[in-house]
Amino acid sequence: MSSLRAILQDRFGFSDFRSSQEQVCQSIVDGHDALVVMPTGAGKSLCYQLPGLARKGTTLVISPLLALIDDQVSKLVAKGMRVEQIHSGRTREQSREACIRYLKGELEFLFIAPERLAVPGFPEMLEKRRPALIAIDEAHCISQWGHDFRPEYRRLGERLGRLRGGGATGASLGASTGAAASAAAVIGAPTGSAPIVALTATATKLVQDDILQQLGIPSAKKFIQGFRRTNIAIRVHEVPVPDRGQAAAEILAGKGRLPAIVYAPTRKVAEEISAKLTKAAKGKLRASCYHAGLDADTRETVQEQFLAGKTDVIVATIAFGMGIDKADVRTVIHAGLSGSVEGYYQEIGRAGRDGLPSEAILMHSFADQRTHDFFFERDYPEVSVLDQVHRASSARARTADELYDDVGKCSRESFDKALEKLRIHGGIVAGLDGLFTRGTADWKMTYERQRLHREKSLQQMVDFVQSTSCRMSYFLKYFGDRDAKGDCGICDRCTRADSDSSRELTSKEKTIAKLTLAALSQSNGLSIGRLHEQVGEYQRGVDRKLFEAVVDLLGQEGWVHVRRDSFTNESGKLISYRRVEITDLGESSGAGELDDLRIAEAFAVSEKEPKARKPRSRRRTPAARSSRWSGAEA
C-alpha cells in the first residue's frame, strides 16, 4: 500500500493532514472498521477517499442524497479520479456502463444510493468484485435515534454482510443479465474482508452505538472530534413569528453578513421570508427560495446560482444544504426552532467553512413548539393507529390498498405513516413484490421508545435555547467531544455585555423586569399569560411583545427558567403553555445587576404608547411584601 502522505500530496494536492485525519486513515488502511464523527467542513470525506486509494481497489460509497453524490463525484473527477455513480437520477445506459467499469476494475470509487441494494440482481453484481473499502456517508440516517432517519438505510447491515466478506465470486454466484454479466470473466478481488467506515457530522452516544450495531461492526474504532468551531458566533433570540422576516432583513443589511442561508420551518414560511427580504432590500438583495415543493430544475438552478455567487441569500427548508460546499457563507439564520440539536448543529456548520468570522442566529418562540407538535403527531401516529394496521395484516400477502380498506377510520396519510413505522419496527414485512405480510408482535416496545426519543429531541433543543452556558461548550458536551479548550468567547452567552449591537435596558424595560421577578418570587411559577397580567396590574400599558422580550432576556441571564407545561381542560383536551419560574440567581440579584443587563438592538421591541384605559384600584405589588425586589413598584 502506498504512503498516505504521498497519496495526500500527489492525488489531493494537500501538503499535510488536518487534525486526526492521518490517524483515522491509517486505521482504515490497516483493515479496521471505523466510525468517524466529525462536523461539517472538518474533512470527513478524505477519511474514506484516501484509504480507498491506498487499499488499491474500488471504494463503494453509499450516500442517501443525490445532491451529495453529485457534489462528491464532481470533486473527485476534477482531481483526475476514476469515478462512477448509480442511482435513480441516471439512465439505464449510464448505470449499465458504470457496472461494466466496476466489474472490469476500472473504478477507484463507485457511488450508489442505499435503495440500489434492494434492486434484484444488483447486490449479486457487486459481489462479483468485492470492494476494497465500503464507506457509508451520513451514517446517522441508519439510526432510529438519529435526527434524519431513513428506513432504507436501516437494512444496510444485512445487505452488506456478503459483500464485504470472502464469499463466493464469479460465476458461482449465478449469471447476471446484460452487458454487466459479460464482464464477469475479468473479475479479481482484493484479499481480506473490506473494512466498513461509517461517517457522519452529528451523532450522540446513543446514535453512535446504534450505527455500529446495525452495521454489525461493534468493535469498530471510534473517532469523535472536531466539533469546536472557533469562527462561528452563535446568537439566540426570542422573536415573534410575524416579525422574523423583517428581523432577517435587518440582520442581513449589516456589513459582512452575505452570503447567507435562512432556514425556515415550512415551505410557506420560506416563500414569505424570501419575498420580505427582496421587498425590504428594494432589489439590492438577491434572494431565492428553495424547498422540496419546487421542481428539480428550479432547485438545481437556485443552487447553482448561490454557489456561483449570483444569489446572496437562500431561504430554504432543511431540504437545502446537504452536499453543498460553499466556503464563504457568512451568516446562517434559523427563522424557527430546529427539531433537534443534531440537525441545528449540522445546519449552522454550513457557515464559515473558509475559517473567517461568521454568525449563526436562531430566532424562536413558543409558537415553534406547537409547530413541532403538529409535525410530531403527523410523523409518529399514536400506537393505536399502528395497532389497527398490524391487526389488519396477516400471513397472506396483501397490497397496501387492501390493508387500508380493512383498517377503518383512519386518514390515508396516517395509514401510510403507520405502515412505514411498522416496517421499521418489524410489525409488518414488505416483500420485493410490493406486498405486505404480518411480522413480529413485539414492535410496540421499540416504536414507543422511538416516539419518546423524538419528543425528547425537541426538549433538548429547548434546553439549548435556555442554557446559560457557552453555546459551543454545550455542543461539545452534547456530542461527547472531549475538547478541553474552554468557552468559545464569541457567542451571546460569552459576550453578553460586550456586543456592539446591544444596548442598556430602558427605564420601562427595567421596571418590567423588576415586576416580573417580584411576582415570581411570591409564587411557585406562573404561566406566561398570567405573569403578563400581574405585571400589567402595576405597570400600565405593558405591551406583550415587549414583556416577552424582557422575560427572554432574564432567561438568557439565568434569572428565570421558562419551561413547557400542560394541563387537561374540561373537554379533555391537552393544553400546552409556558411556565416561568424564578431561579436562585434571580432571587439573589438586585437592582445593580439589573443595570448591567444589555439587550440585543436588532431584536429589541420598540415601546408603544399605552392605550388610554379606565383607572383601576392599585393592589400592593408582591415586591412590597418581600424579596430583594421591594423597590419594584417605583
Domains and CATH numbers, the chain: 4-224 (3.40.50.300), 232-372+455-479 (3.40.50.300), 382-441 (1.10.10.10), 502-624 (1.10.10.10)
Question: How far apart are the C-alpha atoms of 329 and 325, rounded to whole Å?
Answer: 9
Position 4 pLDDT exceeds 80: yes
Going by pLDDT thresholds of 50, 70 and 90, the confidence category of residue 432 is low
Mean pLDDT of the chain: 80
Position 400 pLDDT exceeds 70: yes
The number of helices, as runs of H, and strands, as runs of E, in the chain is 24, 20
Q: When comparing pLDDT for 455 and 75, which is higher?
A: 75
Position 140 pLDDT exceeds 60: yes
Single pTM value for the model: 0.69
C-beta separation of 323 from 297 below 8 A: no
Bridge partner residues of 564 (DSSP): 578
Going by pLDDT thresholds of 50, 70 and 90, the confidence category of residue 170 is very low
Going by pLDDT thresholds of 50, 70 and 90, the confidence category of residue 151 is low
Going by pLDDT thresholds of 50, 70 and 90, the confidence category of residue 451 is confident
Q: What pairing do the DSSP bridges indicate for beta strands 560-568 and 574-582?
A: antiparallel
Question: How far apart are the C-alpha atoms of 548 and 528, rounded to whole Å?
Answer: 8
Q: In which region does residue 56 sit, left (phi positive, over 0), alpha (psi from -120 to 50) or beta (all else)? A: left
Specify the pLDDT at position 371. 81
Specify the pLDDT at position 613. 40
Q: pLDDT tens digits, residue range 577-632?
A: 778 888 888 888 776 677 777 776 655 555 544 444 444 333 333 333 334 443 44
Torsion angle (degrees, nearest 10) of CA 588, 590, 594, 595 = -150
Going by pLDDT thresholds of 50, 70 and 90, the confidence category of residue 107 is very high
**CA 518 to each of CA 133, 330, 564, 584, 616: distance values in angstroms, whole numbers, following the listed order:** 64, 41, 21, 13, 20
**CA angle at 74 for the pair 102 and 267, rounded to the nearest 5°:** 115
Task: Count Cβ atoms within 10 A of the Cβ of residue 519 and give its class: 0-12 exposed, 13-18 middle, 19 or more buried.
Answer: buried
Average pLDDT over residues 528-540: 82
Torsion angle (degrees, nearest 10) of CA 383, 389, 395, 397 = -140
Q: When comparing pLDDT for 418 and 150, which is higher?
A: 418
Specify the pLDDT at position 574. 66
The proportion of the chain whose per-residue pLDDT surpasses 90, expressed as a percent, equals: 18
Position 277 pLDDT exceeds 60: yes
C-beta separation of 341 from 331 below 8 A: no
Specify the pLDDT at position 179. 36
Backbone angles phi and psi of 540, in degrees to 5: -65, 140
Q: Which residues are within 8 A (CB) of 150 and not within 5 positions of it... i.e. 6 or more apart?
A: 64, 114, 141, 142
Position 517 pLDDT exceeds 80: yes
Q: State whether residue 99 is helix, strand or coil.
A: helix
> Which cell numbers in the block locate residue 64?
442517501
Q: Where are the alpha helices (DSSP H) in 166-266?
A: 179-182, 205-215, 244-252
Specify the pLDDT at position 26. 92
Specify the pLDDT at position 320. 63
**CA 399 to each of CA 158, 258, 403: distance values in angstroms, whole numbers, following the listed order:** 25, 51, 6
Specify the pLDDT at position 500. 53
Which amino acid, residue 207?
A: V
The proportion of the chain whose per-residue pLDDT surpasses 70, expressed as a percent, equals: 85
Average pLDDT over residues 96-101: 92
Give which of 305, 313, 327 is closest to 249, Cα–Cα.
313
Which of 22-26, 308-312, 498-502 comes out lowest in average pLDDT? 498-502
Which of 346-360, 397-411, 460-474, 591-605 comes out lowest in average pLDDT? 591-605
Going by pLDDT thresholds of 50, 70 and 90, the confidence category of residue 495 is confident
Angle between helices 471-479 and 443-466 (to 10 degrees): 160
Specify the pLDDT at position 282. 72
Distance of CA 160 to the CA centre of its chain: 27
Specify the pLDDT at position 194. 87
Specify the pLDDT at position 21. 86
Average pLDDT over residues 358-364: 93
Give which of 382, 372, 388 is closest to 448, Cα–Cα.
382
Give the helix, strand, coil percentages of the chain, each rounded to 5: 45, 15, 40
Backbone angles phi and psi of 322, in degrees to 5: -65, 120
Q: Rounded to a whole number, what is the distance in angstroms from the first to the last CA of the chain?
A: 79
Position 449 pLDDT exceeds 50: yes
Specify the pLDDT at position 322. 52
